[in-house]
Structure 1
Amino acid sequence: MEPTIFDLILSKEIPADVVYEDDFVMGFKDVNPQAPVHVLFIPKVQIKTHNDLNADNMDYVSKIHLAINAYAKQIGVAEDGYRIVMNCNGQGGQTVFHIHMHFLAGRQMQWPPG
């Protein structure tokens, strides 16, 4: 697969404001934030879309969720609440084809989101 911008961030070829990192997941601030806190959490392996998840790579999604839980507690928004969004393909709003979860916090979220 051709490298995405997220792969270039993982390899440090493109700088990012990294706020979380472990052996499996990286979290960095979105360059176009939609909330006071907007962090993208990505696996350290390229999985193109949600449709490409399978038994061999599904653990990465669990690790992203655990990373988000830890980060929410670390920055003090776990109790107030936050939103997690994952888009899939064009009509779902996905623009970078390396799965990622948007973590949004710091304001009251509205429903429906759009």
Structure 2
Amino acid sequence: MQDCLFCKIANGEIPSKILYQDAEVVAFADINPQAPHHVLLIPRRHLASMKEVTEQDGALLAHLFVVANKLAQDFGLSERGFRFVTNVGPDAGQSVFHLHFHLLGGRPFGWPPG
């Protein structure tokens, strides 16, 4: 999508602190971190949100989860725990309409969120 901020980051058109990338996934530091470690993981292919995910996206989603787990291990978050979440729609706090997951860690989190 031409005007999608995250598509532009994935394509290298907008600078970002890239923490991981491959042919399908890009992970980068959130510019407004809510925890000591706050990474956004996106598919390179534009999907507006989880509402557009189909069964055919299973391998892509599995890959996103594997990458998130690797990053959590790299940051030393696996032992104490971390949060991995996506927001769907404006009422949930989605502000960029490109499917993305937040990997957050490095501090305790409360429940319920929000």
TM-score band by shorter chain is: over 0.9
Cα offset, 1:2, TM superposition:
4.1
Residue 68 of structure 1 corresponds to which residue in structure 2?
68
Cα offset, 1:23, TM superposition:
2.2
Identity of aligned residues (%): 38
Give, as a single letter, the amino acid of the residue that structure 2 aligns with 1:81.
G
Which has the larger displacement, 95-104 or 52-61?
52-61
Question: TM-score of the superposition, structure 2-length normalised?
Answer: 0.94
> What is the alpha-carbon distance in structure 2 between the residues aligned to residue 67 and residue 23 of structure 1?
12
> What is the alpha-carbon distance in structure 1 between the residues aligned to residue 2 and residue 59 of structure 2?
23
Indicate how the Cα distance of structure 1 residues 62 and 38 shifts in structure 2: closer, same or farther if over 3 A, else same: same
Cα offset, 1:44, TM superposition:
1.1
Cα offset, 1:85, TM superposition:
1.2
Residue 58 of structure 1 corresponds to which residue in structure 2?
58
Residue 38 of structure 1 corresponds to which residue in structure 2?
38
> What is the alpha-carbon distance in structure 2 between the residues aligned to residue 23 and residue 54 of structure 1?
20
> What is the alpha-carbon distance in structure 1 between the residues aligned to residue 37 and residue 87 of structure 2?
18
Aligned to 1:58, the other structure's residue is in SS state helix
> What is the alpha-carbon distance in structure 1 between the residues aligned to residue 21 and residue 2 of structure 2?
23
> What is the alpha-carbon distance in structure 2 between the residues aligned to residue 60 and residue 3 of structure 1?
23
Q: CA RMSD in A?
A: 1.1
> What is the alpha-carbon distance in structure 2 between the residues aligned to residue 18 and residue 75 of structure 1?
14
Residue 109 of structure 1 corresponds to which residue in structure 2?
109
Cα offset, 1:63, TM superposition:
1.1
Aligned to 1:64, the other structure's residue is in SS state helix
Q: Give unpaired runs (5+ residues) of structure 1.
A: none
Question: TM-score of the superposition, structure 1-length normalised?
Answer: 0.94
Cα offset, 1:52, TM superposition:
0.4
Cα offset, 1:73, TM superposition:
1.1
Displacement over 6 Å in runs of 4+: none
